[in-house]
Amino acid sequence: MFFYAMVWLGEAFDGYVFNQILRWRDRDWAKARHFVLMIYIGTLFSATVIASFSISLAAQQGHTMHFWALFMLFSAAVFAAINNHQILSVVVLRLSIYVVALLFIPIRDLVATNPPLWLQFFTVLFVLSFIIECSRSFLVGYVKNLRYINALVAEHEKTKAAYHAKQEFLATVSHELRTPLTAIKGSLQLINSGALGAVPPKMQHLFNMATGNSESLANLVDDLLDLQRAETGKLELHLEQIELGAVAAATVDRTRPYAARFDVTLHMEQPRREYWVKADRHRIEQVLVNMLSNAAKFSETGGRVEISIGAHDDQISLAVKDYGVGIPKDASDKVFEQFSQVNSSDIRRHGGTGLGMNISRHIMQAHGGEIDFESAEGVGTTFYVTLKEDKTVRPQPIPDMRKSA
């Protein structure tokens, strides 16, 4: 009972020390040295208790084969090599105590009785040599793995530094580009409006091209800023109660001129009732515009895009379905990647930054929702977003007045 109580006392001490380490936040070196000392004390105490118990058990058995005592020490040594390898000096201390106990038990019998028990002694030496060989192999592997870990940590720190540098660069460049770009866009729009006089017909095409390119560049800058905010956790949401059907209908109406450039029509099914969610209206519109513009771009000429909204349990789902080329199975993983191109030729032909769907996923995740898709190559693609329904608002039925075609 004494040794049993001592074992539990050692476990309690170790548990106390490790809990203190887990709560340690200031990373003070003096406290770190104190914790290391406590670990040494706990190791010395528990290893001594186990070794003493094994020696005591061997003494009670008399001068005979001490299977249980030696097996206990052997098991404790293997357990220590497996579970106490984080601090090399600690495992060396523990194994040294066990080795001394392993040698003490047979030597004590030989000295006390002087019988022909050399077979037992050589058996112990054999077991001891096995433990030493295991320890040596472990030490070699430990040193090698430690080198690999240190190399990985160094590479990880370099990668983190490069990543932060990239984020700062993107943020700085994007902000610096935004101000002059706004002035350029405003000037081009002012010229195109005719407020400064009629634009010569020969120059109209150039001004239209410059206006379009400035808008594309502005979209790229906005996407880069959104991406930087999303990746640093600074994507701000201004949550409010919005009726998702009305937001979708308004977004569809604004996107029709864009879809018409590809000779694609947008059709929104009439919702049967209101669908209220708590979300950032601007960000949800941004996600819907990305979904609708992609559907229009990758639809066949003269195609049709269908928008529908419905609810299942407490989840509201809004789907955008096209009948275009579809997404190949081997390209599905690229859809939500940064600067991804499922089909490079189509992306370049229709334009786009390759960031829209990645940003959309960040936005939906920030809302606690999701965005995903189903696709069949040559048949079409359905993208859908899912948000939790706001149950604090009682949805009203909608008369057949908000039909879009």
- Is residue 121 in a domain? no
Q: How many helices (H) and strands (E) does the chain have?
A: 10, 7
- Is residue 17 in a domain? yes
- Is residue 226 in a domain? no
The average pLDDT across 63-89 equals 73
- Local confidence band at 403 (pLDDT 50, 70, 90 cut-offs): very low
- Is residue 174 in a domain? no
| CATH code for position 286 | 3.30.565.10
The last residue of a domain, from among 70, 85, 115: 115
Identify the weakest region by mean pLDDT among 54-68, 247-261, 358-372.
54-68
Closest Cα to residue 73, out of 103, 110, 36? Answer: 103
Q: Domain containing 302: what range?
A: 240-388
The average pLDDT across 315-332 equals 88
- Contact of 371 with 323, CB cutoff 8 Å: no
- Is residue 331 in a domain? yes
The average pLDDT across 388-400 equals 84
The average pLDDT across 277-295 equals 92
pLDDT in tens, 158-168: 988 887 787 77
Closest Cα to residue 189, out of 168, 214, 167? Answer: 214
Tell me the DSSP string of 334-382.
Answer: GTTSTT--SSHHHHHHH---S-HHHHHHHHHHHTT-EEEEEEETTTEEE
C-alpha span between 40 and 38 (Å, rounded) = 5
> What is the per-residue pLDDT for 343?
56
The last residue of a domain, from among 59, 82, 115: 115
* Highest mean pLDDT: which range of 53-62, 113-122, 303-312: 303-312
What average pLDDT does the chain have? 81
Tell me the DSSP string of 140-181.
Answer: HHHHHHHHHHHHHHHHHHHHHHHHHHHHHHHHHHHHHHHHHH
pLDDT in tens, 94-152: 888 888 887 787 777 777 766 655 556 666 676 667 667 766 776 777 778 888 888 99
- Is residue 213 in a domain? no
- Is residue 184 in a domain? no
The label of the residue with tokens 């170790």 reads: 14
pTM, entire model: 0.57
* Tally of domains within the chain: 2
Structure token digits, residue 5: 């109580």
The last residue of a domain, from among 115, 146, 167: 115
349 φψ region: left (φ > 0), alpha (ψ -120 to 50), beta (else): alpha
- Is residue 138 in a domain? no
